[in-house]
Chains A and B, each alone.
Chain A
Amino acid sequence: MKHSVFTLATGLAAIAIASQLHGSDHSKIFAALAMTKAQESSPIPTDSGVFLYDEASDDWHRTGPVIQAINSITTDPSNPERLFLACGNGIVRSLDGGETWKMTSGWRESDFTKIAIDPKNGDNVYAASVWGISVSRDGGETWNPSNKGLAEKYSRTIIIDERKPKRVMLGTADGVYQSNDGANTWRPIRTSPKLTILRIARSQANLDLWIAGTEGQGVYLSRNDGKSWTQTASDLADKNIYAVAVDPFDASRMAAAGWGTGVWISSDGGKTWLDRGDGLPSQNVTSMTFDPNHKGRLWVSTFEEGTVYSDRLGEDWQDGGLMGAYVYDLGVISVP
């Protein structure tokens, strides 16, 4: 792994994704991050943005504009030329694979955490923020708040049910909520914990399996497509779990990680969990994802101490770069 040295962008506000791609991959690992470790005497990180892992060069390369506080990136499942950045400033969109960008939200919208795009109708875009939900019905050109039914607006994670795209799952400060009408209205899922949901992930191998990380109550699982939730991983029961993931090739394999926990792995669908924190550069984990391009590979970002990956479910860890970064979101996006 090369150790990237990020430098502040000096000119280009946009760097096209296409120009950075090599090989025939159609998806890439991304990291939405701020370089906070070297941040001293200032509220401003030394660098910020979205970086894509390029396997050919074994390094991370910036994509998109340099803006402080980019929390996540999303691509349209049906058109990877359409990209959305969830930013502190609002929502920044590209329609040309990252050649040009526009902040399409206005002054009323800010502090977005995650964006989800309807896989069957790209006009429907849903964006979670710490101030609530914003919805676009015109492909992200305009935005309106849509918080009806929410007891708490603070939202960190949002997922569209690809089987029923009008069904949207939302992690709020009052537990998991769901909408069945394309985010027009929300209702709580009674069995989810009534506290802040930090992250929700869904198994791609078994769409009935969902996993959630919480603030203060560890990990919750749903095995019936989000209808009911039960706590799992008893060793993590009082922890803040910022990262959860399910292996896209094997629904029995999942991971959870948070502050001071290292990484915990289950290989039996959440029945038992093993501590696989040994060898991590830090036990404080902020983000995590399985790699769809490498069966069984798990990427983990620690707070300011670098990103690592494991091809053996955490039995050992390999340096993945991004030293000094606070990775808000580590995930996978389609690329043109």
Chain B
Amino acid sequence: MLLPTALNGQQPDPFLSDAELAIQFRERCEYVIDQVVKNTDPTNTARGGMFTVAANLHRGANLEWARAHIREANETPTGAMFWMHPMVLMMETGRGVLNDDDWAFIKELWRTYFPYRGDTENHWIMYYASIYLAAEMFPDAGPDQWYNGKSSAENMAEAKEYISDWIHITTSYGQGEYDSPNYIEEYTRPMALLAGWAQDPVVRQQGKMMMDYILLDYVVENIDGLYGGAHSRLYPRYLLQPSLTAGAAHGWLFFNQGEYRPNAGNTLIALSGYTPPPILYRIAHGRGDEAYVQRELKRTRWRLRHAGPDAFEIDGKSTTPVYKYSYVHPDYILGSSQGGLLQPIQQQTWSLIWREDDSSGKTNTMFGLQPYSSPLEGTMYFPSDWDTVTDLIARSKVDYDSPDKLEGGSPYEHVFQEESTLIALYDIPEGTRFPLISTLFSRDLKDRVEDQSGWIFGHGGPVYVAYRPFAPGEWKEVDWTGLLKSGAGAWFSTNFEELARGSQCFVSESLKNGYIVQVAPISEFESFDAFKKAIRELPLQYELSPTPSVRFTNLAGKELVATYGGQLSVDGKAVDHSKWKLFDGPFSRAERESETLEIHYGQERYKLDFKSLSTETTILEAE
């Protein structure tokens, strides 16, 4: 089975007609479904999963296998919302295909298996989208027919209210589990389910519009399908190879970026019938040569303790603003958040990714962190005990309590950014569990050299990178290869050594610390030496004691001044976060508490209004 011909070897064209874009998107969807069906082993009823069952039911293929697998896979239901939403997908695609015995079996599962609602935003939205659709399929079912003793009407009403509230909060204050290259599909899956199958037109429209919203959020910080900038959550192997993420898989499906990779979320979306608005494709492919700044306002996960001075409440729950800043260049994305404990466990405070001709197998990224773990962080976000929370987190996020980890926020890290220049400052108290900072230097950052000036230079793809540490450090192999204890969790860490081999971290154990990252496109310099010379000549002053601070004039000639615990000043003007918008960039604009999002491309304007649940396309007059 071949890839859709229109997609192979052709340069994507942002000016394709809406009809052509829709046809090509549908071809990719069909390809996804075809691949799942093709790879089904009808002789093995123990393997497959409900996504595979759904694709087969949709095609009318391997039906006896599907029926047997539904039963075998559900001998002992587990996984809560990760059980619920694939089940709902299977049920929706099974309409008219499954028989009475199948439905009786399925109903009994929903009566007897009591799923946990979870402890994250993605858990809850998957839970409620799933129970909504399941209840909608059996609208007359009474309380005795559902695990939680609520009737279908009660379950639908509760789910509808939660879904509306989640949308209200997200479009008013920013997403809590924001911009995750991994977890993007934990949001597109439930939204596509609603967009595709909700019978209630309100819920269906909510699903469709939130799909548009999430994809806009992704596409404006996207380079060849790779999700750039600061992220709420990322797993180690995906940190090292951005092309492996669910975000990258979505890039192929939605925008014909990168390569096809099997992805469960793509299977669900392909089956759902959801089609993205063409303007998103045009943003993905038609940005031209101009770089731009993308500012976004997000928020932390709900904080149940230790909320901190920056916290504010929404409906009685505490959260804290997250100020995202990304410089999106045609060749790279350098992006950051302000630092601090913005998300538990898997935060990526800043990152650089650069374009590669083929990013498969490439570690085309750079990032830094203070590998912090503590009960303070755990109990801030989880209802666990001080003395057990770290241990319990590490049962599934094995690297959480490791000095070698590659992700995580720290209260002792403050990050500042102005376009292609990033400053990170650290003030780590004595006694901190892992008193060090670490910066990844990828194996794909070539010709790395430690210059006598104190700068470290390298280049990756079409990008030069200069890194100036403020304290001595040493090079260490990326040596965390911690497979989960049982050896399970292939999605988490399989091939980690292979992914990491050849990459190193610059590790510094000075408690008062910092560095500058300066990025530039190769095209702007005659040679690597010319870049180095230009960097060496940049005025730089820094102090580490008593409080780390820096004064630096960057390649653009702007003077940046930053102090740990303070704000960035650019040419004497302090950056003001107080008026930060939910989205602020050339392709997107949304005011805080607006519940709207305006998407721009050229003369096109596509507006999402979540208060009226309406979308509007307008064409501005040509300038």
Quick one: CB contact mask for B371-413 with A, threshold 8 Å, 1 for yes? 0000000000001011110001001100000000000000000
Question: Given A36-B395, A41-B488, A103-B148, is A130 in contact with B387 using a C-beta cutoff of 8 Å?
Answer: no
Number of A-B residue pairs at CB separation under 8 A: 114
Question: By the criterion CB–CB under 8 Å, are B119 and A107 in contact?
Answer: no
- In the complex, chain A residues whose CB is within 8 Å of the CB of B388: 286, 303, 326
CB contacts (< 8 Å) of A240 on chain B: these are 385-387
Q: Within residues 72 to 127 of chain A, which ones have a CB less than 8 A from any CB in chain B?
A: 88-90, 92, 100-103, 106-108, 110-111, 113
Q: Are A242 and B489 interface neighbours, CB within 8 A?
A: no
Question: Contacting B112 at CB < 8 Å: which of A13, A110, A130, A215?
Answer: A13
- Which residues of B lie under 8 Å from residue A131 when comparing CB positions? 304, 316-317
Number of interface residues of B (CB under 8 A): 44
Residues of chain B within 8 A of A40, CB atoms compared: 395, 484-486, 488
**Docked CA distance A204–B134 (Å):** 48
Q: Which of B415-429 contact A (CB under 8 A)?
A: none
Q: Is A306 an interface position by the 8 A CB rule?
A: no
Chain A 63-77 per-residue mask, 1 if CB under 8 angstroms from chain B, else 0: 001111100000000
Q: Which B residues touch A198, using CB under 8 A? A: 385
- Expressed in whole angstroms, the Cα–Cα distance for A204 and B485 within the complex equals 46
Pairwise interchain contact B396-A153, C-beta atoms closer than 8 A: no
Contacting pair A107 B148 (CB below 8 A): no
Q: Is B586 an interface residue (CB 8 A)?
A: no
Contact of A41 with B114 at beta-carbon distance under 8 Å, contacts A107-B161, A107-B162, A240-B387 already known? no
B93-152 residues with Cβ-Cβ distance < 8 A to A are: 111-114, 116-117, 119, 124, 128, 143-144, 147-150
What separation, in Å, do the CA atoms of A68 and B305 have in the docked complex?
A: 22
Interface residues of A in 31-73 (CB under 8 A from B): 36, 39-44, 65-69
User: Are A67 and B114 in contact, with the CB atoms below 8 A?
Assistant: yes
- Contact of A68 with B116 at beta-carbon distance under 8 Å, contacts A102-B148, A147-B316 already known: yes
Q: Which residue of A lies closest to B393 (CB)?
A: A43
Could you say which of B119, B162, B316, B387 contacts A145, with CB atoms under 8 Å apart?
Answer: B316
Q: State whether A103 and B150 are in contact (beta carbons under 8 Å apart), knowing that A130-B383, A242-B385 are contacts in the complex.
A: yes
Stretch of A4-12, A21-29, A184-192, A271-279 lying at the B interface: A4-12
Please give the number of chain A residues whose Cβ is less than 8 angstroms from any Cβ of chain B in the complex: 51
Interface pair B383/A111, CB less than 8 Å apart = yes
Question: In B50-88, which residues have CB < 8 Å from any A CB?
Answer: 75-76, 78-80
Q: Is A17 an interface residue (CB 8 A)?
A: no
Which of chain B's residues have a CB closer than 8 A to the CB of A173?
305
**Residues of chain B lying within 8 A (CB to CB) of residue A281:** none
Find chain A residues with CB under 8 A from B80 CB: 44, 68
User: A259 contacts B128, CB within 8 Å?
Assistant: no
Q: Could you say which residues of chain A place their CB within 8 Å of the CB of B75?
A: 10
Contact flag A36-B392 (CB < 8 Å), given A103-B149, A153-B316: yes
Given A43-B396, A107-B128, A173-B305, A132 contacting B488 (CB threshold 8 A): no
Cβ < 8 Å to B, chain A residues 114-166: 130-132, 145, 147, 152-154
The proximity string for B residues 288-321 relative to A, scoring 1 for CB distances below 8 Å and 0 otherwise, is 0000000000000000110000000001110000
Q: Which residues of B contact A41 (CB under 8 A)?
A: 395-396, 484-489
- Give me 5 A-to-B residue pairs in the complex whose CB atoms sit less than 8 angstroms apart, sorted by A's number: A40-B395, A40-B484, A41-B487, A65-B147, A130-B383
Known: A41-B396, A88-B383, A303-B388. 15 other contacts (CB 8 A): A10-B76, A41-B484, A41-B485, A43-B395, A44-B80, A67-B114, A68-B116, A69-B116, A89-B148, A100-B144, A103-B150, A107-B162, A111-B119, A242-B385, A259-B386
